[in-house]
C-alpha cells in the first residue's frame, strides 16, 4: 500500500476562532504543522503518493508541501462541502483508481516524537489476509465511546489482526457494544467506494466512513482490526486536545524541553 488519502476538508468548528482563516491541520505542534507530522509518519511507512481531500480556503496545506519532499507525489481533490469523512474518501475515488490505499485523518498525530509503523502494518495485514479493510483500534474508557467509531472484534493474539463483527459510529457509553475505538488510520481496497455509494447519510447529516465499513461487514467482506494500544494518539479536534498535544511535544523537546519542564513546575507551584 503506497497511496494514502489524507482528508483535510473539515471546517474545524470546534477550534474556532483559531481556525476561522487557518486550517486546523496547519496549527503548529512541536514546531511544525499538525499535517506535517502525518505526512512524515506516512512517508516513514512506505507511502509515496499522498492525496489530500481539501476544501476551498485551505490552500495553505498544499502550499506547505510544494517542492518539499522529493520522491513523494502530492495531489489534491476538492470536497465541495464538508459532508463527512465517508464523503471525503469517496471524493478521492478518481485519484485512487483501483489500488488498495491508506486513509490517515489530517488532524490526529500518532506517536510523540517517533513515527509508529501503523499504516505499514495495516497495509501488510490487508494484503496478507486479502481483506477489504483493516482498521487501527485502541481501547478507550467507556465514558469516551461517543467520540469514536466503536468496533466489536474476535479475540486475537497481541499484534495480530482480529475479524471485525460490528462497527458503530459514536455510540453513547450506555449503548456502546464495546470500547475498542477506531484510531484515525485505515487500509482499504476500492470496495469501500461502492459501499459508500450505498450508505445513507447518518444522523449527524454526514456520510460516515464507519457506516460504509459496517456495510462491508454485513455483506460478509473481510474487515479486520489491529490493536495498537501502545501508540499515543494526539487529537487536534478541540482546544483541549490541541493544548494537550502542544504540551506533550513542547515538554519533550530536545532543545528546550527541560527548561520548559522547570517552568511548568514553577507555574504549578511545585518549586
Nearer to ligand UTP, 105 or 224 (CB): 105
What distance in Å separates the CA atoms of residue 227 and residue 260, rounded to the nearest whole number? 33
What distance in Å separates the CA atoms of residue 136 and residue 201, rounded to the nearest whole number? 24
| Residue 224 contacts residue 87 (beta carbons within 8 Å) | no
Strands 133-139 and 180-188, sheet pairing: antiparallel
3-state secondary structure 102-149: EEECCCEEECCCCCCCHHHHHHHHHHHHCCCEEEEEEECCHHHHHHCE
Q: For 34, how many CA atoms within 13 A lie in the half-sphere containing its CB? A: 26
Nearer to ligand UTP, 84 or 161 (CB): 84
Check residue 11 for interaction with ligand UTP (CB under 6 A).
yes
Min dist. Cβ of residue 11 to ligand UTP (A): 4
Min dist. Cβ of residue 108 to ligand UTP (A): 7
As given in the structure block, the three cell numbers for residue 79 are: 470536497
Binding segment toward ligand UTP, per CB under 6 A, in 2-10, 119-127, 165-173, 210-218: 2-10
Binding segment toward ligand UTP, per CB under 6 A, in 69-77, 99-107, 187-195, 216-224: 99-107
Q: Indicate left, alpha or beta for 91 from its phi (over 0: left) and psi (-120 to 50: alpha).
A: alpha
Q: Which of 29, 105, 150, 224 binds ligand UTP (CB under 6 A)?
A: 105
Q: Which of 1, 10, 33, 249 binds ligand UTP (CB under 6 A)?
A: 10
Residues 213-242, interacting with ligand UTP (CB under 6 A): 237
Residues 36-95, interacting with ligand UTP (CB under 6 A): 53, 79, 82-85, 87-88
Check residue 8 for interaction with ligand UTP (CB under 6 A).
yes
Round to the nearest angstrom and report the end-to-end CA distance of the chain: 51
Check residue 14 for interaction with ligand UTP (CB under 6 A).
yes
User: Would you call 241 helix, strand, or coil by DSSP?
Assistant: helix
Nearer to ligand UTP, 82 or 177 (CB): 82
For the chain, what's the residue count?
A: 271
Q: Which of 107, 169, 208, 211 binds ligand UTP (CB under 6 A)?
A: 107
Min dist. Cβ of residue 104 to ligand UTP (A): 9
Residues 185-214, interacting with ligand UTP (CB under 6 A): none
Check residue 135 for interaction with ligand UTP (CB under 6 A).
no
Amino acid at each position: 500500500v503506497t497511496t494514502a488519502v489524507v482528508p483535510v476538508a473539515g471546517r474545524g468548528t470546534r477550534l474556532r476562532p483559531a481556525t476561522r482563516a487557518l486550517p486546523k491541520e496547519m496549527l503548529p505542534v512541536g514546531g511544525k504543522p499538525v499535517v506535517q507530522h502525518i505526512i512524515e509518519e506516512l512517508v516513514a511507512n512506505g507511502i509515496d503518493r499522498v492525496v489530500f481531500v481539501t476544501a476551498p480556503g485551505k490552500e495553505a496545506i498544499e502550499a506547505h508541501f510544494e517542492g518539499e519532499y522529493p520522491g513523494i507525489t502530492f495531489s489534491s481533490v476538492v470536497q465541495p462541502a464538508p459532508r463527512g469523512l465517508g464523503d471525503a474518501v469517496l471524493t478521492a475515488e478518481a485519484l485512487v483508481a483501483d489500488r488498495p490505499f491508506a486513509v490517515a485523518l489530517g488532524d490526529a498525530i500518532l506517536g510523540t516524537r517517533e513515527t509508529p509503523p501503523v499504516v505499514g502494518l495495516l497495509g501488510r495485514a490487508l494484503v496478507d489476509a486479502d481483506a477489504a479493510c483493516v482498521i487501527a483500534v485502541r481501547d478507550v474508557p467507556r465514558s469516551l465511546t461517543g467520540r469514536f467509531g466503536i468496533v466489536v472484534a474476535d479475540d486475537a493474539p497481541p499484534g495480530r489482526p482480529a475479524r471485525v463483527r460490528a462497527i458503530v459510529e459514536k455510540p453513547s457509553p450506555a449503548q456502546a457494544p464495546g470500547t475498542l475505538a477506531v484510531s484515525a488510520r485505515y487500509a482499504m481496497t476500492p470496495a469501500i467506494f461502492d459501499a459508500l455509494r450505498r450508505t445513507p447519510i447518518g444522523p449527524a447529516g454526514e456520510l460516515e466512513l464507519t457506516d460504509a465499513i459496517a456495510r462491508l461487514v454485513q455483506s460478509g467482506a473481510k474487515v479486520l482490526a489491529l490493536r495498537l494500544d501502545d501508540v499515543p494518539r494526539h487529537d487536534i479536534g478541540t482546544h483541549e486536545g490541541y493544548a494537550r498535544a502542544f504540551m506533550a511535544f513542547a515538554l519533550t523537546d530536545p532543545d528546550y524541553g527541560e527548561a520548559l519542564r522547570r517552568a511548568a513546575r514553577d507555574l504549578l507551584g511545585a518549586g
